[in-house]
A and B are shown apart, each in its own frame.
Chain A
Amino acid sequence: MSEALLKVDSLNCQFSGLRAVADLSFSVQPGAIKAVIGPNGAGKSTLFNMIAGVTAPTSGAIHFAGVRIDTLPTFRRAELGIARTFQNLQIFREMTVLENVMVGCHLHGKVGVVKALLRGRALRDEESAFRDTAFALLDRFNLAAKADVVAGDLSFGQMKVLELARALASRPRLLLLDEPAAGLPQAEAEHISQIIADLNRDGMTVLLVEHNMRMVMSLSHDILVLNNGQWIAEGTADHVRRHPDVLSAYLGETEHA
């Protein structure tokens, strides 16, 4: 087994009396699609926010590619190669679709104020490289025709894809997806699913939190099941599907639903 890309060790998160995540350890191998599932209130979002840098853990450690990240601000984690999408969308609504993706290229640029002011070759080269990268991504996701549209005018499904394109523009090593299918009709969810599978085939490591069971089961190599902030099972789709604790805690309810 190669070294884990993401390693979570005895992570705890306590909100005044409530233990949202309790003594959780797991790892994500490079090239894997790992899903975190669990009933509402299981601590999935808290876990996700701790990895992304939104919530600080009470104790424990998170390592990414050997670097301890749990005390770093979000933008430093992005510099190390962690990109994310948001369940409730955090796109730049007043900027164009193209600009949104070009902002995603930010980490791969070097042009600062002085070079921008001089508008020399460095700036022009960087702008055209960013533009090419952005268009390649927009083409891949069928959004190129909307390049000059203000992002706030897109449909919800298009915004989800745009946010994914923006995350990919930073050329991450780990993609964190917070409910990528939430709020989408089945057909669009399948489209997102297809995109994630394609990305993973190209080598992208993915960690996702998702409610859509069909998506999780078909996509993931490895599933971590949480309940009440605690680890209850981990393994392949078949393994967790048959696990008695999972059935009682989670799948039992949804399969009858």
Chain B
Amino acid sequence: MTMAPAKAAPPPVSTSPSQIVGAPSATSPASHPVRRRGVSDRMRLLLLWLLMLLVPYVAPNSYVISLGNLFLINVILIASLNLLMGYGGQISLGHAGFFGFGAYVSGILDVKLGIMPWIGLPTAAVLTGLSALIIGIPALRLRGHYLSMATLGWNAILLVMFNRLIDLTGGPNGLLGVHPFSIGSLALDTDIRQFPLVWLVSLLVMIAILHLLQSRVGRALRAVATNEIGADAVGIDSFRTKLLFFVLTAGMAGIAGSLYVHVNQYASPETFGVNGSILLVVMVALGGSGTYWGPVIGALIYTAVPQLLLDYEDAELMLFGLGMLIVLIAVPSGLAGLPATLIGRRFGRRPS
């Protein structure tokens, strides 16, 4: 052997081009100031949600609080879709369908079988997840946009079922007679009484997403989305990883559906159409796909804009479409990335 490396030589700082592999570092693991984004994101989340608790006091008005409930349900929907789409790179065009599936499961169990919403909610989550499993197994085996197409088809089928299975769903007239959640004899049948429940569930879902992202499975998901060949090489089963998150996020949509149906005590098919699924995708992109806070912004827009344009229903879609074009061209990382983009423009890319 011509090359006999010196035994226990220090890192080849002097003999090899250390500038190529970064500044020579004499640091030990303990001394690295690891930016623990997890802790700070969790603190921000708790602070933000605590602030939201003030809403019923600041605006003790049933309209505002009902919007608050809708907003928090939308947060669950958009955040779960963002986990799948933004972090996992898998675009589902059936998220509103899963939302509706959860709503009808929980609602039908209540109306037809008298099963209380507290049991309906987890059942909706599990059954919605199960339906995603059945679609995901064939669709995720194939690379490419098969999941988008399969979910689009599933959403269309669901819509037909919501409309046609009149004995179960009430058909186009909607599912009537859904009961609210209740604690003992206290029915959560007003906006103000529902708010704490929706608040808590949305907080739990946001925490769940954060915990998943900061774990081995969450990193595996991002790795698969970023580079499937690389993920494969380090032993990640990309099919299972994608399937797992597809099922989990569908389950979250099912939870949102159960909340929705018992909060509104009503469900009707048009809420859960393909249109809704597409708008949810738009909201993920608008807020900031693959950012933790993007869905909160997306949910805010999704909830507020239709209220502002109540009289111009058609303008709403146009506005969303236009907004998405502008945001995607000007701030590709979404509105959540706006501060960083502005700072970057101002200070980062100054011509020298």
Task: With A92-B222, A103-B223 as known contacts, state yes or no: A139 contacts B28, CB within 8 Å.
Answer: yes
Least Cβ–Cβ distance between A149 and chain B, in angstroms: 9
- A78 within 8 Å of B by Cβ? yes
Are A158 and B20 CB-contacts (below 8 A) given A86-B233, A91-B227, A93-B227?
yes
Q: Which residue of B lies closest to A94 (CB)?
A: B226
Interface residue? B217 (CB, 8 A): yes
Q: For the side of the interface on B, what is the size category?
A: 35 or more
Q: Is the CB of B234 within 8 A of A166?
A: yes
Which A residue sits closest to B28, measured CB to CB?
Answer: A139
Q: Give a binary string over A155-179; 1 marks a CB under 8 Å from any B CB, 0 the rest.
A: 1011001000011011000000000
> Is B271 an interface position by the 8 A CB rule?
no
What are the interface flags for A235-257 relative to B under an 8 Å C-beta threshold, 1 for contact and 0 otherwise? 00000000000000000000000
Q: Which of B15, B21, B214, B230 contacts A127 (CB 8 A)?
A: B214
Binds B, one of A21-29, A56-64, A188-196, A223-231: A188-196
Residue of A73, A103, A143 with most chain B CB atoms under a 10 A cut-off: A103
A123-B215 CB under 8 A given contacts A117-B208, A190-B16: yes
B:210-247 near A, CB below 8 Å: 211-212, 214-220, 222-223, 226-227, 229-238, 244
Q: Which of B17, B219, B229 contacts A188 (CB 8 A)?
A: B17
Report yes or no: B227 in contact with A92, Cβ–Cβ below 8 A: yes
Q: Are B220 and A90 in contact (CB under 8 A)?
A: no
Q: Which of B16, B232, B234 contacts A73 (CB 8 A)?
A: B232
- Contact among B5, B16, B21, B232 with A74 in the assembled complex (CB-CB below 8 Å): B232
Given A106-B235, A111-B217, the answer on whether A116 and B211 have CB atoms closer than 8 Å is: yes
Partner-contacting stretch, out of B29-37, B100-108, B133-141, B157-165: B29-37
Cβ-defined partner of B235 (8 Å) among A75, A91, A144, A155: A75
By a CB distance below 8 angstroms, the chain A residues around B27 are: 139, 144-145
Flag if B20 contacts A144 (CB, 8 Å). Answer: no
Known: A131-B29, A188-B17. A75 touches B237 (CB 8 A): yes
Residue in A closest to B220 when the chains form the complex, CB atoms? A106
Q: Which of B116-147 contact A (CB under 8 A)?
A: none
Please give the distance in Å from B136's CB to the nearest CB on chain A.
15
Residues of chain B within 8 A of A221, CB atoms compared: 1
Taking CB as reference atom, which chain B residue is nearest A74?
Answer: B232
User: A residues within 8 A CB of B25?
Assistant: 139, 142-145
B212 touches A113 (CB 8 A): yes
Does A3 sit at the interface, judged by CB under 8 A? no
Chain A residue with Cβ nearest B5: A197
Query: B227: which A residues are within 8 A, CB to CB?
Result: 90-93
* Interchain CA distance A146-B227 in the complex, whole Å: 20
In Å, the complex CA distance between A219 and B3 comes to 7
Q: Which of B2, B17, B211, B238 contacts A191 (CB 8 A)?
A: B17
The answer to whether A191 and B16 touch (CB under 8 A), given A95-B223, A126-B216, A131-B29, is yes
CB distance from B126 to the nearest CB of A (A): 14
B1-44 residues at the A interface, CB under 8 angstroms: 1-3, 5, 11-13, 15-18, 20-25, 27-29, 32, 34-35
Check if B234 sits within 8 Å of A83, measured CB to CB.
Answer: yes
* A107 and B234 within 8 A (CB): yes
B297 within 8 A of A: no
- Given A111-B216, A147-B34, A148-B35, A92-B230 contact (CB < 8 Å): yes
A1 within 8 A of B: no
Which A residues lie within 8 Å of B283 (CB)?
none
Q: Does A34 contact B (CB under 8 A)?
A: no
Is B22 in contact with A218, judged by CB distance below 8 angstroms?
no
Task: Give residues in B with beta carbon < 8 Å to A.
Answer: 1-3, 5, 11-13, 15-18, 20-25, 27-29, 32, 34-35, 208, 211-212, 214-220, 222-223, 226-227, 229-238, 244, 248
Can you list 14 A-B contacts with CB-CB less than 8 angstroms, sorted by A residue number? Answer: A90-B229, A91-B230, A99-B222, A105-B216, A111-B215, A113-B244, A118-B211, A126-B215, A139-B25, A147-B34, A161-B21, A191-B12, A191-B20, A194-B5
Given A103-B231, A191-B16: 6 more A-B contacts, CB < 8 Å:
A92-B226, A93-B226, A103-B220, A106-B216, A139-B25, A142-B18
